[in-house]
């Protein structure tokens, strides 16, 4: 079996905003089409139609949900397999669960591709509802051992299908930089509380005592933008901190190649694409050990891991890496080796096997 001629109903978000799941959805559609599959994309975050409906708080969800359900019903009638990008909270109840039920009712094999670091807290109170919908799915796929463990605790077996990194876009600079007296640090997460950007700023301020000419770029957007800009001023580092706002994929890839080290301070996480993109770009990574991150990188081998919300430990780990040329190069080299597991040639066979097993399982269920 190959992807050629396969009809895939792909359900998920698209940029903007350029979050991890949205980027993975767009990339997967492109890769499947390049393999000869027919991909019908149903977007869960489509613009409101009419545009003024966005101002109707409280009922605006209906203006997105009703067209979404119609698209699902029609698209499922033309598909061999439905690939549903799923997340926690209302995203599951409003978008993922209806996609599972509609595709199943139309006799289509459903692969639920669950993502997001908040699965544990979500399943703690919603496992029953999720299990009910999952009985209609043929297969549950997750990108990490962390999520597989979380779902197993609630009686739902899952298969690992890793995230996919575009190594043609995210690659090291032709002449890798060598950190000097003015290292450039990069935070590549959206400006939301769960990503701990405030901790990253505190760590940067502490690091400034050792590297007074260091600079920091926060590449992302989100509701904490103004608060973080204010915090940078309060910490006295605003002149060396740049908030880049939203960047497209090529701009982001260029920014990785211009940096010396990636800093990640997330409080809740699963398998952040930003870390994989940094590794693919030849950047050493210093990160908290939140959620599934220890399942994807190993401390002092492919990254430096510290406790969540510990700005001092984060700053110290950055200093250790920048001060030790041998460690810096070792993290860089091993990170480049590790990320090969996440390129399309490596993931392709696993995804194809998941589709094949899902379709065979659905066929057996209908008999």
47 has pLDDT over 90: no
Three-state DSSP at 191 gives: coil
Q: What pLDDT sits at residue 100?
A: 98
Exposure class string for 195-230: b at 16+ Cβ within 10 A, else e: bbbbbbbbbbbbbbeebeebbbbbbbbbebbeebbe
Nearest to 96 by CA among 44, 144, 131, 142: 44
Q: For the chain, what percent of residues have pLDDT higher than 70?
A: 99
Token couple for 335: 């990170």
Summarize the confidence of residues 33-41 as an average pLDDT: 98
pLDDT band of residue 51 (cuts 50, 70, 90) is confident
CA distance 267 to 357: 35
Task: Please state the pTM of the whole predicted model.
Answer: 0.90
Give the pLDDT confidence of 3-33 residue by residue, as tens digits.
999 999 999 999 887 778 999 999 999 999 9
pLDDT tens digits along 242-251:
999 999 999 9
Homologous superfamily of 184-341: Glycogen Phosphorylase B; (3.40.50.2000)
Residues of the chain with CATH 3.40.50.2000: 7-164+343-366, 184-341
**Average pLDDT score over residue span 121-132:** 97
What's the rounded mean pLDDT across residues 38-63? Answer: 83
**Which pLDDT score, from 0 to 100, does residue 96 have?**
97
Q: What percent of the chain has pLDDT over 90?
A: 87
Split at pLDDT 50, 70, 90, the class of 175 is confident
The residue to which tokens 């690091």 are assigned: 207
Instruction: State whether residue 198 is helix, strand or coil.
Output: helix
Mean pLDDT of the chain: 95
pLDDT tens across 105-123, in order?
999 999 999 998 889 999 9
| Fold type of domain 7-164+343-366 | Rossmann fold (3.40.50)
145: phi then psi, degrees, rounded to nearest 5 = -60, -30
Task: For residues 212-233, give the mean pLDDT.
Answer: 97
226 alpha-carbon distance from chain centroid: 24
Lowest mean pLDDT among 53-57, 125-129, 178-182: 53-57
| 180: confidence class by pLDDT, cuts 50, 70, 90 | confident
Task: Tell whether the model's pLDDT for residue 62 goes beyond 80.
Answer: no
What is the mean predicted confidence (pLDDT) over 287-315?
A: 98
Q: Write the pLDDT tens digit of every residue in 251-269.
A: 999 999 999 999 999 999 9
Instruction: Provide the pLDDT for residue 309.
Output: 98
């Amino acid at each position: 079996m190959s992807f050629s001629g396969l009809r895939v109903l792909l359900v998920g978000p698209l940029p903007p905003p350029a979050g991890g799941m949205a980027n993975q959805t767009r990339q997967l559609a492109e890769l499947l089409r390049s393999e000869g599959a027919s991909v019908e994309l149903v977007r869960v975050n489509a613009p409101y139609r009419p545009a003024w409906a966005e101002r109707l708080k409280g009922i605006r969800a209906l203006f997105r949900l009703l067209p979404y359900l119609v698209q699902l019903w029609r698209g499922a009638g033309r598909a061999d397999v439905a690939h549903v990008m799923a997340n926690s909270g209302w995203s599951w109840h409003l978008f993922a669960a209806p996609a599972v039920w509609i595709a199943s009712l139309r006799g289509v094999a459903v692969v639920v591709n669950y993502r997001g670091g908040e699965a544990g807290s979500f399943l703690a109170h919603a496992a029953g509802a999720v299990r009910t919908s999952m009985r209609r799915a043929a297969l549950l796929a997750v990108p990490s051992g962390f999520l597989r463990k979380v779902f197993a605790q609630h009686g739902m077996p899952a298969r690992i299908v890793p995230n996919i990194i575009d190594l043609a876009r995210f690659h090291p600079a032709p002449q890798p930089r060598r950190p000097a007296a003015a290292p450039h640090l990069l935070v590549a997460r959206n400006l939301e509380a769960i990503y701990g950007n405030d901790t990253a700023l505190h760590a940067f301020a502490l690091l400034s005592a050792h590297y007074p000419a260091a600079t920091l770029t926060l590449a992302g957007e989100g509701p904490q933008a103004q608060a973080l800009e204010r915090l940078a001023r309060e910490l006295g580092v605003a002149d060396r901190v740049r908030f880049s706002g939203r960047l497209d994929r090529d701009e982001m890839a260029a920014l990785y190649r211009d940096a010396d080290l990636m800093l990640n301070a997330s409080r809740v996480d699963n398998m952040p694409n930003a870390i994989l993109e940094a590794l693919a770009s030849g950047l050493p990574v210093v990160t908290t050990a939140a959620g599934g991150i220890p399942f994807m990188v190993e401390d002092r081998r492919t990254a430096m891991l510290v406790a969540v919300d510990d700005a001092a430990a984060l700053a110290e780990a950055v200093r250790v890496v920048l001060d030790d040329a041998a460690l810096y190069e070792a993290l860089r080299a091993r990170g480049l080796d590790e990320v090969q597991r996440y390129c399309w040639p490596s993931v392709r066979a696993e995804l194809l096997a998941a589709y094949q097993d899902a379709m065979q399982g659905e066929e057996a269920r209908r008999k």
